[in-house]
Amino acid sequence: MDARTLEKLKALDGAVARYVRPDTFPLAIRMLAPGEPVPEGVRVPSANFKENWIVCQTIGVARRYGWSLAVGKDDVICPLSAIAFGFRKPNDAYLKGFASTGMYCEDEEAASRLEAETWRFEPGSYDYVCVAPLGRANFEPHIVAVYGNSAQVMRLVNAALYKRGGRIESTTGGRLDCAEIVIQTMKTNAPKVILPCNGDRVFGMAQDTEMVFAMPWASADELLEGLEGTQKGGVRYPIPVAMRGTVTMPKHYQELLRMLDEEEKKS
pLDDT value for 196: 97
Rg of the chain over all Cα atoms, to the nearest angstrom: 24
Give the integer Cα–Cα distance in Å for 42 and 69.
Answer: 5
Ordered by start, the domain boundaries in the chain are 3-266
246-264 burial, b at 16+ Cβ within 10 Å, e below that, comes to eeeeeeeeeeeeeeeeeee
Give the integer Cα–Cα distance in Å for 53 and 247.
Answer: 55
Per the DSSP assignment, residues forming a β-bridge with 130 are: 30, 70
Helix residue ranges, H only, 138-205? 150-160, 177-179, 185-188, 198-203
How long, in residues, is the chain? 267
Kind plus residue range of the DSSP H or E element containing 129 = strand 128-133
pLDDT value for 1: 80
Measured over all CA atoms, what is the biggest interatomic distance in the chain, rounded to whole angstroms?
92
Whole-structure pTM value: 0.93
Angle between helices 3-19 and 220-233 (to 10 degrees): 30
Kind plus residue range of the DSSP H or E element containing 263 = helix 251-266
Per DSSP bridges, beta strands 128-133 and 27-32 are antiparallel
Taking residue 4's Cβ as centre, other Cβ atoms within 10 Å add up to 9
DSSP 3-state assignment of 43?
strand
pLDDT in tens, the chain (267 residues): 899 999 999 999 999 999 999 999 999 999 999 999 999 999 999 999 999 999 999 999 999 999 999 999 999 999 999 999 999 999 999 999 999 999 999 999 999 999 999 999 999 999 999 999 999 999 999 999 999 999 999 999 999 999 999 999 999 999 999 999 999 999 999 999 999 999 999 999 999 999 999 999 999 999 999 999 999 999 999 998 888 899 899 999 999 999 999 999 998
Kind plus residue range of the DSSP H or E element containing 261 = helix 251-266
